[in-house]
Amino acid sequence: MRNRILPLICIFFLGGLLFCNPAKGINPDGLQSRGGLPAFFAKIREKQEVTVVFLGGSITNHRGYRVQITEWMERNYPEIKIHAVNAGIGGTGSDLGVFRTDEDVLLHDPDLVFVEFAVNDSKTDSLLICNSMEGIVRKIKQQDPATDICFLYTLNIGMLDDLKAGKTYRSVRFMENVAGHYGIPSVNFAYDVMDLLNKDQLVFKGEKDKSYPGKVVFTNDGTHPTFDGGHVIYTRTLAAALTELGKQQAGSAAFRMPAPLYPTHYEQAKMYSVDEFVRTGGWQPVTKDDKVYQYFQGDSGKLPVLLSSADPEDSIVVRFKGIRAGLFDVIGPSSGGISVQTDGEGSQYIRRFDVYCGNTNRTSYHLFDTLDNGMHTVIIKPDSRWFDKKEIYSSRPSSVKELSYFDEFNTYIGKILVVGEVVR
**Residue 2: pLDDT above 90?**
no
pLDDT score, position 291? 87
Q: What is the pLDDT of residue 379?
A: 99
The larger pLDDT score, comparing residue 405 to residue 351, is at: 351
Which pLDDT score, from 0 to 100, does residue 359 have?
81
pLDDT interval class at 12 (50, 70, 90): very low
Cα 177 from Cα 377, distance rounded (Å): 34
Q: What is the pLDDT at residue 299?
A: 83
Check pLDDT > 70 for residue 192. Answer: yes
pLDDT score at 391: 84
Tell me which range, 62-76, 281-295, 379-393, 398-412, is most confidently predicted by mean pLDDT.
62-76
The confidence band for 252, taking pLDDT boundaries of 50, 70 and 90, is low
Q: How far from 364 is each of 87, 157, 187, 298, 299, CA to CA, in Å?
A: 15, 23, 28, 11, 12
CB 372 within 8 A of CB 345: no
Q: How confident is the model at residue 396 (pLDDT cuts 50, 70, 90)?
A: low
Q: What is the DSSP code string of 292-307? A: GGTTEES-GGG-SS-E
Q: How confident is residue 19, by pLDDT bands cut at 50, 70 and 90? A: very low
Residue 4 has pLDDT above 60, yes or no: no
Query: Residue 399: its pLDDT value, please?
Result: 64
DSSP assignment of 329-362 equals EEESTTB-EEEEEETT---EEEE---TT-SS-EE
The pLDDT tens digits for 50-83 are 999 999 999 999 999 999 999 999 999 999 999 9
Name which of 13-27, 241-255, 306-320 the model is least confident about. Answer: 13-27
Taking residues 205-223, what's their average pLDDT? Answer: 95
In angstroms, rounded to a whole number, what is the distance separating the alpha carbons of residues 55 and 71? 18
Q: Are 97 and 56 in contact (CB under 8 A)?
A: yes
Sign of the four-CA dihedral 79, 143, 189, 87? positive
Eight-class DSSP state of 420: E
- The SS3 assignment for 62 reads coil
Give CA–CA dist 332/350, Å, rounded. 15
Which of 131, 127, 119, 222 lies closest to 172 in space, CA to CA? 119
Task: Tell me the C-alpha to C-alpha distance, in Å, between residue 308 and each of 110, 278, 322, 354, 389.
Answer: 35, 15, 27, 18, 19
- Quote the longest CA-to-CA distance of the chain: 65
User: Which domains does the chain carry?
Assistant: 29-245 (3.40.50.1110), 267-420 (2.60.120.260)
Q: Which amino acid is at 76?
A: N
CB atoms within 10 A of CB 169: 23
**Residue 251: band (very low, low, confident or very high) from pLDDT cuts 50, 70, 90:** low
**Which residues, 6 or more positions from 197, have their beta carbon under 8 angstroms from its beta carbon?**
204, 218
Cα angle value 416/420/421 (rounded, 5°): 80
- Phi, psi values for residue 196, rounded to 5°: -65, -40
Residue 267, classified by CB atoms within 10 Å of its CB into exposed (0-12), middle (13-18) or buried (19+), is middle
Amino acid type, 373: N
Query: CA-CA distance, 182 to 134, in Å (whole number)?
Result: 9
Beta-strand relationship, 361-367 and 411-422: unpaired
Q: Is the pLDDT of residue 301 over 90?
A: no
Interval 104-128: pLDDT, tens: 999 999 999 999 999 999 999 999 9
Percent of the chain with pLDDT over 90: 81
**Do 42 and 202 form a contact (C-beta atoms < 8 A)?**
no
pLDDT given at position 245: 96
Query: What tens digit of pLDDT does each residue of 130-184 get?
Result: 999 999 999 999 999 999 999 999 999 999 999 999 999 999 999 999 999 999 9
Confidence (pLDDT) at 371: 97
Instruction: Report the candidate in 141, 70, 61, 53 with the shortest Cα–Cα distance to residue 105.
Output: 53
Choose between 355 and 152: higher pLDDT: 152
Cα 94 to Cα 198: distance, rounded to the nearest angstrom: 30
- Please tell me the distance from the alpha carbon of residue 321 to that of residue 319, in angstroms, as a whole number: 7
DSSP code for 421: E
pLDDT band at 8 (very low <50, low <70, confident <90, very high): very low
Q: Is the dihedral angle over the CA atoms 153, 155, 159, 163 positive or is it negative?
A: positive
Model confidence, pTM: 0.92
Cα–Cα distances (Å) from 18 to 72, 155, 176, 366, 418, in that order, read 7, 21, 27, 39, 42
